[in-house]
Amino acid sequence: MEDIRSVLSQFNLKKKKSETQKSESRPTEKASFSEIPDVFFDKVLGRFKLTRNEIVILMTLYRQTWCRPNLYKSHGIGPLNSYTELASNLQITTDELSHCLRSLENYGFIETVRSGQYFVRKYFTVELDQQFGQDYDQFF
């Protein structure tokens, strides 16, 4: 039978090896966070029957406009997007992208400033913007 000390010494060697391997591996990535108003989950999703693609596109445009550094944030206008890049990043076709953008415009969540650039409401609808006192600097 082996001595307890020799067994424990082997265990400590294994433990030290695994610790050094962990420290040598690259640091873990940190998750990013975006502030999406609760009204989106509480009211908008219940009142509007949005498809998965419409939600993904709306959240992408919302995050670009309101959650990241943006020159035109006070106006509610997002940065210029390339349709092909946006579609490939979202893993949808450009036809699906254009259909969903039209649908989001019909709901009143976004408005086209120019091709690839959108005005995005902070609280998603005119009524909710008024309710929460959101106004936009006149850009148009």
In a domain, 120, yes or no: yes
The CATH number for 61's domain is 1.10.10.10
Report how far residue 135's alpha carbon sits from residue 133's, in angstroms, rounded to the nearest whole number. 6
Q: Is residue 139 part of a domain?
A: no
DSSP-derived 3-state class of residue 62: helix
Domain assignment of residue 96, yes or no: yes
Residues with Cβ within 8 Å of 58's Cβ and at least 6 positions away in sequence, in order, are 50, 104, 109, 110, 120, 124
Residue 120 DSSP label:
E
Q: Kindly state whether residue 99 falls inside one of the protein's structural domains.
A: yes
Domain that holds residue 83: 41-131
Kindly report the CA angle at 60 between 59 and 61, in degrees rounded to 5? 95
Residue 98 lies in a domain: yes
- In this prediction, residue 15 carries a pLDDT of 56
Residue 109 resides in a domain: yes
- pLDDT tens for 66-112 read 999 988 888 999 999 999 999 999 999 999 999 999 999 999 999 99
Number of structural domains the chain divides into: 1
Q: Considering the domain boundaries, does residue 8 fall inside one?
A: no
Q: Is 17 among the domain residues? A: no
Residue 139 has pLDDT above 60, yes or no: no
Q: If you average pLDDT over every residue of the chain, what do you get?
A: 86
